[in-house]
Amino acid sequence: MNQLFIRSDKGEYLPGEFVCGAVYLDINAPTEGHGVQVSFQGEESVCCELQVNGLRTNVQAKQEYVDYCHTDLFTQNEPFACGSYCFPFRLRLPHQIPGTFKTTCIETSFAWSACVMYQLHANIAGAETMKVSQDIVVTAVTPENLRDNHLTRAHEIVFVPSRRLFGQKMHVTLKLIKNFLKTGENLRLRMIFTHGNQTAIHGFSMKLLQTLTLTVPSKSKIKEVPGVADKKVTVIREVAGMMPSGAYNVGNWHGVDNLMIPLKTEHGQNILPSVHGKFIKVHFDARMS
C-alpha cells in the first residue's frame, strides 16, 4: 500500500513567517505517480444556507489571502520506484492576513458560517487518488508587535459611568497588564476609580463584551439573510462585587490590582478569537455600569 503524508514544522504561525515542512512518500506497490506537488491556500468566507418555499439555497462570499497552487516539489519522467522519499518545502505567509477563525449559527429557516482557514495540500502527479491535507493555525498578531512589545504593554481606557456619585461623575481607568492573550487564559487588569470627593468606594460592576460583525458585499444575496449583517454583542463575563481587601485608596482615587477575568463563558466554553478580516470582525470591550 502506498502512503502519502505532509507535516509542518509547527502547528501555529504568525503572519509573515515561513511555513516549513516536508512531504513524505512511501511506495510499496507499482504506481503511475511521477511527481510531488504542494499547495497552500488561505481564505476567508461567509456561507449561508437559506430555505425559501421549501427549497434550500446556498450563497457565499470569499476572500483569498494565500494561494500557492500545485507547486512542484519534485518531478521526473519515470514513475516512482519502491522506497521512501522526503520532499521539504518552505512557503511564506503574507504579513497582512487575519488569524484562523470559525463560528456558525443555525436557525429554523437559515444557517450561516464564517471562517478563516489555512490549509496545506500535497498530491502525487500522475496518481490523482494520492492526496493529503493539513490545517495550519495563524495567530492574529504580527512578529513585529511581539518583538516591539506593542501588544504586551499596558493600555489605559477611561470610562465615565452615567451613575453620579454625589453629583459628580466618576472616571474608571482599566489598565491591562497584558494585551495579547489566548482563549482560556485570564485577562489581568488594574482598575482605578477617580472622583472629586473623599467618599470610599465599596463595590464595582463590569462587563466583558464580545462584538461579532459580519460585513458582506452589498450585491451579495447574503444581505437577504436575517441577522447576518448585524452586530452581535455577547456578554462573556460579568464581574460584580465588593472591593477586595487588597484594594488601595489614596485621596480621591481607589484601585483594585491584578483583577483576573477568565476568557471563557460562564459555562466554560471557549470564546471567539479577535479577528479583523474583510467580512469578519471580532473585538472585545470592557464596560463599567
CA distances from 230 to 16, 112, 151, 223 (A): 32, 13, 29, 10
The parts of the chain modelled with pLDDT lower than 50 are 164-167, 246
> pLDDT (tens digit, 9 = 90+) per residue, 261-279?
888 888 888 888 888 888 8
CATH number at residue 224: 2.60.40.640
Same domain membership, residue 82 and residue 198? no
Name the H helices within the chain: 143-147
Quick one: pLDDT at residue 273?
87
Alpha carbon distance 58, 112 (integer Å): 9
The CB-side HSE value for 117 (13 A sphere, CA atoms) comes to 14
Give the chain's domain count: 2
Residues 164 and 127 in one domain: no
Tell me if 219 is assigned to some domain: yes
Domain identity same for 86 and 202: no
Q: Is 214 exposed, middle or buried (0-12, 13-18, 19+ CB in 10 A)?
A: buried
In a domain, 54, yes or no: no
Three-state SS for 241-276 is: EECCCCCEEECCEEEEEEEEEECECCCCCECCCCEE
Residues 254 and 273 in one domain: yes
Q: Do 162 and 260 share a domain, yes or no?
A: yes
Find the farthest-apart pair of alpha carbons in the chain and give their distance in angstroms, rounded: 88
Which candidate, 30, 143, 37, 153, places its Cα nearest to that of 97?
A: 143
Residues 222 and 134 in one domain: no
- How many degrees, rounded to 5, is the angle at CA 8 between CA 119 and CA 99? 45
Question: Range of 15's domain?
Answer: 3-43+65-101+117-139
150 and 91 fall within a common domain: no
Give bridge partners of residue 242 from the DSSP assignment: 203
Question: Phi and psi at residue 226, in whole multiples of 5°?
Answer: -65, 135
Do residues 163 and 279 both lie within one domain?
yes
Q: Indicate which CATH number applies to the domain containing 27.
A: 2.60.40.1930
Q: Based on the domain organization, do 191 and 210 belong to the same domain?
A: yes
CB-based contact 48:35 (threshold 8 Å): no
Same-domain check for residues 122 and 227: no
**110 falls within a domain:** no
- Which set of grid coordinates corresponds to residue 204? 464595582
Percent of the chain exceeding pLDDT 90 equals: 33
Does 58 fall in a domain? no
Question: Residue 247 domain-assigned?
Answer: yes
Question: Is residue 84 domain-resident?
Answer: yes
Tell whether 173 is covered by a domain.
yes
Q: Give CA–CA dist 39/59, Å, rounded.
A: 26
Residue with cell 460592576: 205
Same-domain status, 257 and 186: yes
- Residue 19's CB is within 10 A of a number of other CB atoms, namely 20
Hey, what's the torsion of the CAs at 89, 73, 15, 208, to 10 degrees?
-90
What pLDDT sits at residue 2?
A: 93
- Determine the Cα–Cα distance for residues 103 and 230; give it in Å rounded to an integer: 15
Instruction: Provide the grid cell at 192.
Output: 482605578
Tell me, what's the pLDDT at 224?
57
Q: Kindly state whether residue 90 falls inside one of the protein's structural domains.
A: yes
Question: In this structure, are 283 and 179 located in the same domain?
Answer: yes
